[in-house]
Amino acid sequence: MMNDAINSIPRDIFESEHNMFRDSVRKFLQAEAVPHHDAWEKQGQVDKSIWTKAGEQGFLAPSVPEAYGGLDLDFRFNAIVNEEVNRLCLSGLGWGLHSDIAVPYVVHYGREEQKQKYLPKTVTGETVMAIAMTEPGAGSDLQGIKTTAILDGDHYVVNGSKTFITNGQLSDLIIVVAKTDPGEGAKGISLFLVESDREGFARGKNLEKLGLKAQDTSELFFNDVRIPKENLLGEEGQGFTYLMNELPQERLSVSVGCLANAESILEQTVEYVKGRNAFGKPIAKLQNTQFKLAEINTQLTAARVFIDRCIELQLKGKLDVATAAKSKLLATEVQHLVLDECLQLHGGYGFMWEYPVARAYADARVKRIYAGSNEIMKLIISRAMLKD
């Protein structure tokens, strides 16, 4: 468990059942993921079998209602899986994107037939989900997407390309953000469920990245992909509204993982400086080391209190867009600060890939970019402050 001196504020949002669940998740990851992670990094993606194994344990999409094969649990269980994955620097698994971000769209906006058809297998891990928003020419600006879905009889015809798609190689079901009315801006955006075996769909290469090396991240191509009208998710033209509604949980999910990872690396760093000698004594005895640890621990503790409060708000359905943006901005910046200082305290060893701090540092860099860049977070926060 986390060193009490590092995480000194009691986390009252969790109860005994959550602690039991956390222990199960941690033991599972230690047995089924940690021993294989080096190999997964080399091959650029995890083995599909880890998904079905996790599904058997109830670790995927725990919030799916029981009627569709889920456990109908609240977001705290999602957060626990997210935290344990990130404590062990296993964020390449892609479960957070699946469980916290993609699956909820089907739960919240899917028709009854869609829920019955798709949700049970998202819980078992037989169906891996992805969401295709980002395009080569449109990153955080979702209104700038070019992918289209034009109605032709009883089918929509999808054309376009997406990039930086998490679970891009392993995904079986993809939520595609496309324009059904290209002339209407945000009002012309709709969401579609596209199965990966559709004719005209193709995956690009597994992208080589700075970090998250075990995470399959891909380009996706849609060339006259015909999907039945029944694959429209929710109502036509409401896609942008749905995206805005779901972004607070997406950004909170990122925040949760960032802090768990930073806490874990800080704890490891404390142990490292106790055993590393310089000038005839452990560097933990040097005032600079002590001051740096105190500074980053204080900021991490403050961020933890805020993020836990955001989890409480999410459980009550009260996490607004601006507060979620604050959580993402704060957590990613604090994680960056903590990891940078921890790597420095490791000296040359911190630059070696075999040390978790090096992996964590590389993996964390994208957190200030995806789920909306931190510059976008600042715009969201400032607009909420300045609106009349």
> Are 267 and 6 spatial neighbours (Cβ–Cβ below 8 Å)?
yes
Q: How far apart are CA 129 and CA 81, in angstroms?
A: 17
Residue 250 appears among annotated catalytic residues: yes
pLDDT at residue 66 tops 70? yes
Compute CA 248 distance to the chain's CA centroid, rounded to the nearest angstrom: 12
Least Cα distance to 315 among 9, 77, 58 occurs for 77
CATH number of 130-237: 2.40.110.10
> Are 218 and 207 spatial neighbours (Cβ–Cβ below 8 Å)?
yes
Least Cα distance to 342 among 263, 258, 254 occurs for 263
Burial class (CB in 10 A: 0-12, 13-18, 19+), 313: middle
Beta bridge partners of 226: 157
pLDDT band at residue 3 under the 50/70/90 scheme = low
> Are 152 and 181 spatial neighbours (Cβ–Cβ below 8 Å)?
no
Tell me the one-letter amino acid at 16.
Answer: S
Domain with CATH 2.40.110.10 in the chain: 130-237
The torsion defined by the Cα of 340, 344, 349 and 350, in degrees rounded to 10, comes to 0
336-369: pLDDT as tens digits: 999 999 999 999 999 999 999 999 999 999 999 9
> Are 154 and 229 spatial neighbours (Cβ–Cβ below 8 Å)?
yes
292-339: pLDDT as tens digits: 999 999 999 999 999 999 999 999 999 999 999 999 999 999 999 999
pTM of the model: 0.95
The torsion defined by the Cα of 101, 109, 232 and 185, in degrees rounded to 10, comes to -80
Q: How far apart are CA 321 and CA 45, in angstroms?
A: 32
33-65: pLDDT as tens digits: 999 999 999 999 999 999 999 999 999 999 999
pLDDT band at residue 2 under the 50/70/90 scheme = low
Please compute the mean of the pLDDT values over residues 20-39 and round it to a whole number: 97
Active-site residue, from 83, 250, 263, 341: 250
Tell me the one-letter amino acid at 336.
Answer: H
Which is higher by pLDDT, 303 or 4? 303
> Are 237 and 180 spatial neighbours (Cβ–Cβ below 8 Å)?
yes
140-149, 158-167, 310-319: least confident range? 140-149
Residue 280: strand, helix, or coil = coil
Please compute the mean of the pLDDT values over residues 4-21 and round it to a whole number: 89
> Are 374 and 329 spatial neighbours (Cβ–Cβ below 8 Å)?
yes
| CA-CA-CA-CA torsion sign (41, 42, 48, 54) | negative
Least Cα distance to 34 among 99, 79, 93 occurs for 93
Average pLDDT over the chain reads 95
182-241: pLDDT as tens digits: 888 889 999 999 999 999 999 999 999 999 999 999 999 999 999 999 999 999 999 999
Please compute the mean of the pLDDT values over residues 97-115 and round it to a whole number: 98
Residue 276: strand, helix, or coil = coil
Q: Name the E strands within 184-316.
A: 189-195, 201-206, 217-228, 232-233, 277-278, 281-282
In angstroms, what CA-CA distances link 3 with 83, 267, 314?
15, 7, 27
pLDDT at residue 5 tops 90? no
Tell me the one-letter amino acid at 92.
Answer: G
pLDDT at residue 139 tops 80? no
Structure-token match 């540092």, residue found: 361
In this structure, the number of other CB atoms found within 10 A of the CB of residue 230 comes to 12
Outline where the chain has alpha helix (H).
16-32, 37-43, 49-57, 75-87, 95-96, 103-109, 112-124, 239-275, 287-315, 321-345, 356-364, 374-386
pLDDT at residue 140 tops 70? no
Domain with CATH 1.10.540.10 in the chain: 16-127
CATH topology of domain 240-386: Butyryl-CoA Dehydrogenase, subunit A; domain 3 (1.20.140)
Q: How far apart are CA 235 and CA 18, in angstroms?
A: 36
16-127 CATH choice from 1.10.287.70, 1.10.540.10, 3.90.1150.10, 3.10.20.740: 1.10.540.10
Give pLDDT, residue 369.
95
pLDDT at residue 4 tops 90? no
Q: How far apart are CA 112 and CA 234, in angstroms?
A: 11
Please compute the mean of the pLDDT values over residues 155-170 and round it to a whole number: 97
Domain with CATH 1.20.140.10 in the chain: 240-386
